[in-house]
Amino acid sequence: MKRQSDALLHAELTAVIAALGHGESLVVADAGLPVPALVRRIDLAVRCGVPTFADVLRAIAGELVVESVVIAEEADDAEDGRLRTILLGALGPSVPTELIPHDELKRRAGDAVAVVRTGECVPYQNAILVAGVSF
């Protein structure tokens, strides 16, 4: 058992984060994002809304140095910018955000080390986290 009560407890996700190198990516996805066949899937979805995208992102952000984030342009229009608010709360204002078309985000998910599937059932709640370094 990890010492910190707020530490990420999911063993597989912890191992993936620990193994990420600078510039490699991890996708945090809603329940509907297709996961490319050759990309590792870490499926956390229990039911619609459990766990939320925001909960999973906050847990990951506590463990991963995030250099930048990529989201779909469509997410900026959907839900009154909800995704940007979630990213700001979890990652802070200093992490650059790149906007790309949703179809391009799905293609780039194929280059990720893993896709973490949440129970989020809100459209476009997906983010590609690009790993940074702590030094």
Known catalytic residues are 22
Per residue in 45-67, is it b (16+ CB within 10 Å) or e — as a string? beeeeebbbbbbbbbbbeebbbe
How many Å apart are CA 48 and CA 51, to the nearest integer?
8
| HEC profile of 76-117 | HHHHHHHHHHHHHHHHCCCCCEEEECHHHHHHHHHHCCEEEE
Beta bridge partners of 97: 69
For residue 28, what is the DSSP state? E
